[in-house]
Amino acid sequence: MRLDAGRTAHPALIALGAVGAAGVAAAVWGIGIERYLFTVREVSAEALPPGSAPLRILHVSDAHMAPWQHRKQDWLASLAELKPDLIVNTGDNLGHRDGLDGIRRAFAPLAGIPGVFVHGSNDVTAPSPRNPLRYFLGPSKKKQDPPLLDTEAMDAYFTDELGWTDLNNTAARLAVGGREIALFGVDDAHRDWDRLEDLPDAIDALGPRDDATPMLGVTHAPYQRVLNGFIDLGADAILGGHTHGGQVCLPGYGALVANCDIPLSQAKGLSTWAHDGRTVPLNVSAGCGHSIYAPVRFACRPEATLLTLTARS
């Protein structure tokens, strides 16, 4: 059977072809281009006691580092040029058994800048192959995987070589830019490793805190129970990661998933969190990486945040 010359294709076939072409273009963009468009998001929020000088925080998260990811390593290393007062690392640094090699290369220029860190699950367990579409069916299962990564070596690098402070389920005081800051944090709430009940004693152990000393809360996964608990403990601002900002978003709409119970509208960026009569700034980093088994970002560029906290008016 021969089609008549000049006969056009069925409209449904044209539409199907257009959808297919758009899908291919989106995949090429998300896999081949956007995941390398590393971005510094600069924002500011009032959170410090009146009269305080601004505090510049470099917030990094979710590197999911593999040793061959040199572009990401070079970009992270370049962030030292921002000259932050404080570095806050909200976890999921490792994405491969040898990921610490890449982390060393990425963070070496940040040595000597005061910093703190908490764990995500991928600082403890290695990623495993899985269907990436399952990510859009809701929060991933909180199963315990074998501890395949050398968390102890990573922590030793952060504390001994970079001079950062471990905030997993504990609190600390830091001297930052000629002032004192109090901070507390929890281990990965997505795996139920957080122990909010330990924090009051840890904060009390820091000793009396005057009204001029700000308090920051740090978490990997920004679950509502953690954010509410942090406000109850007196946090003046909260920083989290984990969500990847949705990783694959709809332009003009935003995140489709957050991988935790935070509202989708707050899955990335600076917003506020209110609880029991108090409202504080909340910064959720979209992170700068992805699982090696889901190498894509769409409408959600990899990022770090330069968050400037200023005095409350």
Pairing verdict, β 170-176 and 55-60: unpaired
**What is the average pLDDT across 148-177?**
97
Q: Report the percentage of the chain scoring pLDDT > 90.
A: 81
- Structure confidence at residue 184 (pLDDT): 98
Phi-psi region of 151 (alpha: psi -120 to 50; beta: other; left: phi over 0): alpha
Nearest C-alpha neighbor of 170 from the set 187, 155, 151, 185: 185
- Structure confidence at residue 136 (pLDDT): 54
- Structure confidence at residue 148 (pLDDT): 83
- Structure confidence at residue 10 (pLDDT): 61
**What is the average pLDDT across 224-241?**
98
Lowest mean pLDDT among 53-62, 118-127, 133-142, 283-292: 133-142
- Structure confidence at residue 30 (pLDDT): 67
- Structure confidence at residue 22 (pLDDT): 45
